Amino acid sequence: MAAEPFPSRPGQQCLAYLEQRNAFVARGVANGPPVFAGQASGSLVTDLDGHQYLDFAGGIGTLNVGHAHPEVVKAVKEQADAYLHTCFNIVMYPGYIDLARELVRIVPGDWDKKAMLQNSGAEAVENAIKIARNATGRSAVVAFENAFHGRTLMALTLTAKAPAYKTGFGPFPGDVYRAPFPVANNKAGLTPRQCSDEAFAQFKRLIEMEVGPKQVAAVIIEPVQGEGGFHVAPPEFLMALRAYCTEHGIVLIADEIQSGFCRTGQWFATQHAGVAADLYTLAKSMGGGMPIAAVVGRADLMDAPAVGGLGGTYAGNPLACAAALATIGIMERDDYASKARVLGQVLTGRFQQWVQDYPIVREVRGVGAMMAVEIVQDKQSCAPGTALTADIVERAYQQGLILVKAGFYGNILRFLGPLNMEISQLNSGLDILERAIAAVCGIKREEATV
């Protein structure tokens, strides 16, 4: 159908910067709509031309406390007045120690724990694998289908999305194996429990026939897959995985880079299953918008590498530590896990209604405020609605809503907006999204914009 007329987005300043972006920034750096931020606060972004947007992307899940939370900004400013950087490996500072102590306190596990800080989620994954291999003296690593663990070399090896991320960047590190993730919607006729049991049986078969349990250093899993499409690992699967890893001395690594820090309605997604991983990789919303990451886990594992085996020039930068400490304090004081559950109830209700109302909305996925819907061409074939999803995202952008896609086919619309978003804002954004979905279905809805 013909596109409907939209307001004039982007404006002249954004268009000018878009031209410069194309001239000076590498082609391989992906971007969403042509929005150039001029100011952002809470759940709202204002571009250089004064257009305001409601943000359902949250910097791909980095802004659980919202844009420019005043307490985070204050903490960063105060730290900047003291010093910007010393390199923790050369001159230590209290913020690194204070943050490590807080992470050890809040991360699941009833054993002694330690932490190390890094700059990004991918760097945390790289270090978690190093630690697991060093501690066990083994080399094999098992990851899962649909996984996303980052774009650096080992993290990219663990990532499963080849066309977009991996093509042309090999060869990749060896001794990495891939097991099926328990995706219920791909197992026609099976209950979720049967799907979980089948996936675990295939996981065991992979290890015991192709690798050998005593050769496996680590199993790394996202309790809720992010880029892979918001598939949730069933509690039964995580519990079976925990028991198997314990039995065979395998390090279980939970990648909670996107699902952590209250996003799913618990501080960490493994808590829904009552499971504690040996190591956790953390990043994104830990810093409230500042770049910081961590590996946190069993002290005996964390202490395995020799002195000098771990570190990094900017790892645990003082400004980022200050931001992270402020963020954790805000989340605890204001019960952000509860906020996520409230948002999740609204999202789930609206999304489930769309499955009933629209022929292209097939499935609701996620937990807490980590929710998504799958867009298909039709519910008979269930063929991925890749082009339809792109159309929906564009229409929503034109009406003032920023979205982020996911999934191998780019047909999953995910919610990663701030957890302190007002319910009225959430509903306004969902109204825009619903109108966009209705429009691509040829159904008229009342127009409105942010």
Q: Report the pLDDT value the prediction gives residue 448, as an integer from 0 to 100.
A: 43
| pLDDT at residue 418 tops 90 | yes
Residue 5 binned pLDDT confidence (cut-offs 50, 70, 90): very low
Stretch 109-116: mean pLDDT, rounded?
A: 98
Which tens digits make up the pLDDT trace of 63-96?
999 999 999 999 999 999 999 999 999 999 999 9
Which tens digits make up the pLDDT trace of 40-65?
999 999 999 999 999 999 999 999 99
Q: Report the pLDDT value the prediction gives residue 449, as an integer from 0 to 100.
A: 47
Which residue in 286, 390, 437, 266 sits closest to 337, CA to CA? 266
Query: Could you give the 3-state DSSP secondary structure of residue 219?
Result: strand
Stretch 197-204: mean pLDDT, rounded?
A: 95
Per-domain residue ranges for the chain?
12-69+335-440, 70-333
Question: Would you give the DSSP letter of residue 185?
Answer: G
Burial class of residue 198 (count of CB atoms within 10 Å of its CB; 0-12, 13-18, 19+): middle
Stretch 1-28: mean pLDDT, rounded?
A: 80
Question: Would you give the DSSP letter of residue 306?
Answer: P
Which tens digits make up the pLDDT trace of 246-298?
999 999 999 999 999 999 999 999 999 999 999 999 999 999 999 999 999 99
Query: Could you give the 3-state DSSP secondary structure of residue 204?
Result: helix
| pLDDT at residue 231 tops 70 | yes
Residue 7 binned pLDDT confidence (cut-offs 50, 70, 90): low
Q: Report the pLDDT value the prediction gives residue 1, as an integer from 0 to 100.
A: 30
More confident residue, 162 or 21: 21
Rounded to the nearest integer, the mean pLDDT of the chain is 94
Which tens digits make up the pLDDT trace of 126-153?
999 999 999 999 999 999 999 999 999 9
More confident residue, 234 or 188: 234
- What CATH class has 70-333? alpha beta
Stretch 373-397: mean pLDDT, rounded?
A: 96
Give the β-pairing of 370-375 and 361-367: antiparallel
More confident residue, 399 or 188: 399
12-69+335-440 — its CATH code? 3.90.1150.10
Joined tokens for residue 129: 């694998």
Which tens digits make up the pLDDT trace of 334-361?
999 999 999 999 999 999 999 999 999 9
In Å, the largest CA–CA distance within the chain is 64
d(CA 133, CA 207): 16
More confident residue, 450 or 36: 36
Residue 198 binned pLDDT confidence (cut-offs 50, 70, 90): very high
Helical ranges in 137-248 per DSSP H: 153-158, 192-206, 235-248
